[in-house]
Amino acid sequence: MNQNDVMIRFSEIMKRYGDFSALKSINLDIRKGELFGFLGPNGAGKTTLIRILTGIIKPTSGKVFVGSFDLFAQPDQAKALLGYVPDRPYLYEKLTPLEYFDFMGGLYNVSRERVLKKGEEMLKLFSLWDRRHELIESFSHGMKQKVAMSAAILHDPEIFVVDEPTVGLDPRSVKLAKDYFKSLVAEGKTVFLTTHTLSVAEDLCDRIAIIRNGDIVALGNLEELQKRASMPGNDLEAVFLKITEEEQSVNLPV
C-alpha cells in the first residue's frame, strides 16, 4: 500500500490504566476512500481507540498519524482533517441548530457562507430545516445525532469518525445516514465507523476490524472474516459472534 493512500495509521498503540491494558499494541492502517468498520463487544477497547484518534486522551505508548501528520506532534493540522460524531452528542442545547453551526464554523475558521450553505443542505437532508430556529434542547436523541453529524462535516474534513451513528434514528433516517456515508466515500473521503448494529457494518464497510480485550483479532472484508471464522456464506453477525466467543474462550482462566 502506498504511504499516501493511508489516512489513519495506528502504530504500536498501547493504553494502560494501572495494571489494566485497555489496548495492547494496536497496529492498523485505514486507507483513503475507505469505509472502515471497527467492531467489538462492550469493553473491548473501541471507545478508547476512538478517544485516542480524536485527541481526547493520549496512549501510554505508540503513534497515530492522520494523513501525513503526527497526531501528538502536530495536533492542529491532524485534527483539522477529522470530523467526529460521538455516540452521545454533546451539544450546546440552548442554541438552535443554525447557531450551533455558527459556533462550530468559528472553531474551524469556516466561512459563514460555507456554514450557511452546508448547514442548510444537511438540515434539509435530515428533515430538520423546519426546526432550524428551535432550541436543540427540545430535540430527541436522534435529532441531536443528526445535528452533530451535520456539524461535523461543516469544515469539509477528509476523515469522518462516527461512533454508533444509527442509535436513536428511525428507519428512514438510518437509510439517509447510510447513503450519506456512501456519498462521502464516493467523493474520496474516509469514514471510520463503529457500531453494534452489525447489519449496518455488513451493508456499508469495505473492511472491518474486530477488537476483543484490547487486541485486534480479525481484519478484512466480509469474505475474509468468514474464512477466518470458518463460516463461508454466513452473515456478519454470526461471524462476529463466532470470532469473539472463540477469543473469549481462549482467554478464560483454567
pLDDT value, residue 247: 53
| Contact criterion met (CB below 8 Å) for 191 and 160 | yes
What pLDDT score does 250 carry? 45
Q: How far apart are CA 150 and CA 191, in angstroms?
A: 14
- Domain layout of the chain by residue ranges: 3-81+158-251, 92-156
Torsion angle, alpha carbons of 184, 187, 190, 196, to 10: 30
In 51-198, beta strands by DSSP E: 61-66, 69-70, 82-85, 159-163, 190-194
Mean pLDDT across the chain? 91
Give the per-residue pLDDT at 248: 52
pLDDT in tens, 38-63: 999 988 999 999 999 999 999 999 99
Provide the CATH topology of domain 3-81+158-251.
Rossmann fold (3.40.50)
pLDDT of residue 165: 83
Q: What is the pLDDT of residue 48?
A: 94
pTM of the model: 0.89
Question: CA 120, 124, 130, 136 torsion: positive or negative?
Answer: negative
- pLDDT tens per residue, range 90-129: 899 999 999 999 999 998 999 999 999 999 999 999 999 9
Name the one residue in this structure whose C-alpha cell is 491494558: 21
Model confidence pLDDT, tens digit, residues 142-197: 899 999 999 999 999 999 999 988 877 888 888 988 999 999 999 999 999 999 88
pLDDT score, position 170 = 85
